Structure 1
Amino acid sequence: MGKGSLTSDWLPAYKAVPRHLFVPEVIWPGRAGRNRQDERVVRAEDPATWWAAVHRDAPITTQWDDGKYTGPGKGRIPSSSNSMPTMVFSMLDALSVEKGHRVLEIGTGTGWNAALLSHRLGAGNVISVEVDAASARDARQRLRAAGFEPFVVVGDGAEGYAESAPYDRVIATCSIGSVPRPWVKQTRPGGIIVAPWGPVYGGEAVVRLEVSGDGTATGRFMGSSAFMRLRGQRTERRHVREYLGGRDWPADGMRSTTFLSPEAVGDWHVMFAIGVQMPNAFPWAESYGDGSYTLWLRDMAVTSWATVDYVPGRAEFEVRQSGPRRLWDEVVAAHRWWEGRGRPGFDRFGLTVDGGEERVWLDDPRDVVGVVT
């Protein structure tokens, strides 16, 4: 925890609420900076590896496919985790809690975050919403065993929990692509919302919003994050064959070339900058054994696709595009904008939530980059 995220305010909670009390017996350890999981570890079978995972500053996957997959390998989509400690405490620090504050947590997960908040503020001031009934049940048991009994309710986190509103603080332990308006409505004027936010395209960062008396919320992004999506905001991504209309690639894709390497658009903050300008589209890389790959781009409406073939050592790359949107051209334009604005990182971007839309901006709320409706 020597990365500056554990402030003196949270040190007593860190010491009093050890992570291992909130890690299940069966886990899939992750690695910091990588969205991949190691093989399943069962505590009774390999306690040394289990403990090593607990003490590593990395996320731990605790559920796959909303609980439908139990092992022994890996499921298709990770659906719950115990977050990496530096991320947990950096978000708690951003929450700026004070004595007497009431906090709404979206996503109870294993219960560790709720326990840390309960230690700091008192369990009576913590309300946690968890969509998965089994996860909520297990979290309650762990919390009770550790000496905490915050109010854990099973429900849709996007709706918040109006019965106990208003709240001084709202924190989400799942990512969103649009701020649920109930969170804003249930937060007092002057209150803070901390949540991981990212566009469909990819790239994600934690945003810290302050709620105003007029019902709007605005604030800056703090830094990179990679959380599992709020269930109600997950997107269905159709297979490439549906875009090709039953034909083999390249189907009707128009050929061109580009000097912009797919390698130049793959970093998380670059994907974010592209994604806020390129709504409802997403990338996928089809890798080959020699280090080359095809970058696929598809739109959510299943009308347009593009491919870019990356070959190591080359300076020019083949492009194929089909449909009303020229998706690679959109990437090139967004990347050109990003370079022209000095290659901004997450900390130069901000978000304003206002009525029926939210606006991503650069440096100043008046410099709008993208709009989410």
Structure 2
Amino acid sequence: MTTAAELRRALADSTTADGSMTDPAWRAAIETVPREVFLGDAFFRMNHGERGTVWEPVRRTDLDEADWLRLVYTNDTWVTQVDGVSATDASGPLYGTPTSSSTLPSLVVRMLEAAGIRDGERILEVGTGTGYSTAVLCHRLGEKNVVSIEYDPALAALAADRIHAAGYHPVLVTGDGLDGYEDEAETEYDRLLATCAVRTIPRSWIWQTRIGGTITCTLGGWMEAHGTVSLTVAEDGSAEGRFTGETISYMLARPHQRPPRSGFYRHPGQARTTAVDPGVLQDWTGRFVAQLAAPSAELMGVRGSVALVDVATGSQAWTEADGDGWTVHQHGPLKLWDQVEGAITAWRDAGAPDQSRFGMTVTADHIQTVWIGSSDGPAWRLPA
């Protein structure tokens, strides 16, 4: 039987081969940290049911140990909680939204490398999750240099048990990671790293990161578009940086998730033709640009077209094929498609660059903008 240690080495080999991992120190961590400890005895596997995506629990007791370990060390994300129900507690398949997962190891490493972490630095990790990435950080930096905060008390307790079982004892905190964490001994971190997505950068993150330190996180939103950015904190309390271009996505921090919405009805509204093919919203950067333009809108697919619904005002826009082109219908106080069309046009006029050409500025008075090329290029302000 192939041992867990051999599977860890194979995982490290594949993660290095695909370019996700270049730093030997992270390779040593991936070869050492036992992922099976952090998955426990069950996780969910995605399938398709009559009402959409269904999450089926996969239990360790139902598999040979060799098969279980092969799944554990597959470079894949395994969902561990759906709508607050853990895979261990699930009595059967569930419909719902994932609320915690063990992220695929290559993505964990890509995020760590994007943060540019160096030996001896003090790290605040926002989003402990299963605790796997926390343990990887501990292996590289030493447990005394790692602080990790988790919003969900049940997840925090379980992660603490598993991190300790793996032999690491960092500072573990249960609370809202958007507030960061200030202890009595030291309040500034060299690096802040978020393993959840945020719609905007919390002010506390900038206050708690030292001058010249960095904040690395995924900027997300209600269209489920993402961009990974690394910001450097300046002496005046501002921060600026560029997007990495990495196609990394994380679950939104729970306080940043969209509020409940009633059912969608396609209102005929005001119709016009549009020169923007709605298929551009399937492009990684195209959808991100659309989200910047309409940050409080949710994106849905509706019978072969796309629909935007503004969560705050109920405004909507939906498209339908019209011969060789497209017609858009808009209803409500916000002209959502006008906003998206203008942003997509500005992006295309700039050469339709990928996210590596994008940057972000947070001013000292906490106005946040995302821009293309330079801060005086096309720009969009994030919600307050």
Cα distance in structure 1, aligned partners of 2:368 and 2:124: 21
Aligned with residue 44 of structure 1, among 52, 56, 61: 61
> The residue matched to 1:89 in structure 2 has which SS?
helix
Cα distance in structure 2, aligned partners of 1:194 and 1:275: 20
The verdict on how the C-alpha distance between 1:315 and 1:259 changes in structure 2, with shifts beyond 3 A counting, is: farther
Partner of 2:307: 296
| Pairwise CA distance, 1:25 | 1.5
Aligned with residue 284 of structure 1, among 285, 300, 306: 300
Is 1:4 matched with 2:19?
A: yes
| Pairwise CA distance, 1:153 | 1.0
Length-normalised TM-score, structure 1: 0.88
| Pairwise CA distance, 1:267 | 1.6
Cα distance in structure 2, aligned partners of 1:206 and 1:268: 12
Aligned with residue 58 of structure 1, among 66, 76, 80: 76
Cα distance in structure 2, aligned partners of 1:37 and 1:334: 35
Per-residue deviation, residues 43-66 of structure 1 (Å, max 9, x unmatched): 111346643432222211111113
Matches within 5 A, 1:1-373: 1=15, 2-6=17-21, 7-29=23-45, 39-47=56-64, 50-67=68-85, 70-163=90-183, 164-222=186-244, 223-241=246-264, 249-250=266-267, 252-287=268-303, 293-310=304-321, 315-354=324-363, 355-372=365-382, 373=384
> The residue matched to 1:224 in structure 2 has which SS?
coil
Cα distance in structure 2, aligned partners of 1:343 and 1:71: 47
The verdict on how the C-alpha distance between 1:98 and 1:352 changes in structure 2, with shifts beyond 3 A counting, is: same
1:335 partner amino acid:
I
RMSD: 2.2
The verdict on how the C-alpha distance between 1:17 and 1:111 changes in structure 2, with shifts beyond 3 A counting, is: same
- The sequence identity of aligned pairs, in percent, is 34
| Pairwise CA distance, 1:179 | 0.7
Structure 1 stretch displaced more, 18-27 or 219-228: 18-27
> The residue matched to 2:56 in structure 1 has which SS?
coil
| Gap regions ≥5 residues in structure 1 | 288-292
Cα distance in structure 2, aligned partners of 1:238 and 1:204: 22
The verdict on how the C-alpha distance between 1:88 and 1:261 changes in structure 2, with shifts beyond 3 A counting, is: same
| Pairwise CA distance, 1:125 | 1.1
| Residue pair 2:238, 2:366 contacting (<8 A) in 1 also | no
| Pairwise CA distance, 1:142 | 1.0
Per-residue deviation, residues 252-280 of structure 1 (Å, max 9, x unmatched): 52233335332232222111012212232
| Residue pair 1:224, 1:269 contacting (<8 A) in 2 also | no
Cα distance in structure 2, aligned partners of 1:219 and 1:195: 11
Per-residue deviation, residues 301-334 of structure 1 (Å, max 9, x unmatched): 23411211258xx522343221222222322222
2:237 partner amino acid:
G
| Residue pair 2:313, 2:332 contacting (<8 A) in 1 also | no
| Pairwise CA distance, 1:5 | 1.8
Cα distance in structure 1, aligned partners of 2:188 and 2:83: 33
| Residue pair 1:103, 1:167 contacting (<8 A) in 2 also | yes
